Chain A
Amino acid sequence: MKRILTLLTLLVTNCLFAQKIDKHTLCQTWYLDKYSDEEEYYLPPKKEEGDYMTLRKDMTYEAQSEGTLSSGTWMLNTNGKYLELKDGNRKVEKLYVYFASDKSLVVVYDVDEYRIWEVHYVSSK
């Protein structure tokens, strides 16, 4: 039984990583929902409540992080499975996409301090 579960887990994980990300799926407002690591889920701290990012079809974005607004341009790299956000000061953030659907987006920020956290966004509150 354990072997079957392990196999299923591997298959599901493989499917997640093999998922092709569609740009149109990403074009909406994503609200920060929770964080997770290998063990459990965590609610965002109070200062991050209400954080979001809006990805638009014209490749511009708007985001709120810890209550601070930012905006700029974004792109999707399908083969690298990442989003790249570039704000008005040309500062770049890279977000590896682990899962994307109409309702859910799971990313990992390519920053040393946050690389161990999966960040879960939802499309509506």
Chain B
Amino acid sequence: MRLNSLVLYLLIFASSRVFSQETVALRSVAFKPPTDDVYVMSVHDERTNRHLGMHKNLNGDKVTLYMDKGAEQSVADFYEISMPHRLSGRPVLIKIKELNVQESKRRMNSFIARVARAHVELVFLEKHAGEWSEVFTIRHNEDQVFGLYDKQNLYNTHEERIRAALEYCMLAFLHNYEEPKSLTESHFDISSGRQKINPKLGQWFNLVTAKVLRSTYFEGYGISYTGFVDSKKGLIRPYETSFEVTWARRDVAEENGFRDVNSFVFRPELYFFYKKITRGIYASVSANIPVGYEILENFDGDNSFNFVIGAGASQGLRIIPWEKRGLVIGADFFQQFETSRVYRFDVGVEVVVGINF
């Protein structure tokens, strides 16, 4: 009996973990279509997965989001408010190919921002000679940027972006349908080649890494946080903040008349890019301006300070075998000019080990 209860409890617990879901109800906000002649007769949901996506809700629980009345009814009701059924009107049928909401992060200026997206792909059909035929297809993203700590506002406005995306698609259909203007005149020009719609927001990676560095004159260690959005195409602009401590190698310090030379340097970047080579492997390049100071201790034990400024560059690799969480390894080759008291030009290597989550 006890075993049965335990099994039952485990089943309920597992079900609640797997099937936990929340619903999104579209608010009734009418928009003004350019014509009153068209109405939506019916909506067919052709998605394989009929949910809006898996998300963490405001309590931090993983939930699957659904439209409260199902996508077909919710979308039909949304359009009905602005385009009520008229006996003299022309019916259209809509197929839902894609409908989901997404969330990620990205670098914004010198900070990290949250990004939300509603992604929609609709196909519009009209009846010609008794047969329904596809006359218009549109893919559309409604993206919105939020502050890093504005998760609540982001989560609560998923439904608004769905409405905005549905409105956009309908306006595009009606304007192309009613006013077949030249390509340059139409605001809703979706002709092939002009409209590049990426259906997925890139995955956000958090990397916390430690590095050991060794150069011609210096050695040291550092710790870094790096955040970036994965992208197959183009250059990735990561956000990075790091701290490093270096010291001149004993023989180098002594050759220059010092017992110890320690330096504390920040590196505001001029540019910093990742380029995805293949899954889990990224090349990195950066240029920076090292700014900081050296503490120089002579053989009498007296300390002096030296302001340091210069120009630096690095090229390297990051290997992230597991996308969700796991190990990060990497290496960088760096070069720098500095107003150091022990060198002017230095080259070295960094070995990087850390985790991604």
Contacts and interface: CB of A to CB of B under 8 A. Distances in A.
Tell me if chain B binds chain A.
Answer: yes
Interface string A23-60: 10000000000000000000000000000000000010
Interface of A: 20, 23, 59, 73-75, 77-82, 84, 86, 88, 90, 110, 112-113, 115
26 contacts: A20-B29, A73-B185, A75-B171, A75-B187, A77-B31, A77-B164, A77-B168, A77-B171, A78-B29, A78-B32, A78-B167, A79-B29, A79-B31, A79-B164, A80-B160, A80-B165, A80-B167, A81-B160, A82-B164, A84-B187, A90-B189, A90-B194, A110-B145, A112-B145, A113-B109, A115-B108
Interface residues of B, number: 26
Contacts of B161: 80
Interface string B11-30: 00000000000000000011
Contacts of A75: 171, 187-188
A112 B185 CA distance: 28
A112 to B, nearest CB: 5
A73 B187 contact: yes
Given A73-B187, A77-B168, A81-B160, 6 more contacts: A78-B167, A79-B164, A80-B160, A80-B161, A80-B164, A115-B145
B180 to A, nearest CB: 15
B227 to A, nearest CB: 16
A112 B187 contact: no
Contacts of B297: none
B259 interface: no
A90 B190 CA distance: 11
A125 B268 CA distance: 44
B145 A74 contact: no
B317 interface: no
Contacts of A77: 31, 164, 167-168, 171
A109 to B, nearest CB: 11
A115 B144 CA distance: 11
Closest 4 CB pairs of A and B: A80-B164, A79-B163, A73-B187, A78-B31
A86 B186 CA distance: 10
Contacts of B352: none
B52 interface: no
A81 B64 CA distance: 27
A43 B341 CA distance: 48
B113 to A, nearest CB: 8
B195 to A, nearest CB: 10
B160 A79 contact: yes
Contacts of B189: 90
Interface string B235-277: 0000000000000000000000000000000000000000000
Contacts of B186: 73
Contacts of A80: 142, 160-161, 163-165, 167-168
Contacts of B144: 110
A70 B108 CA distance: 27
Nearest to A112: B108
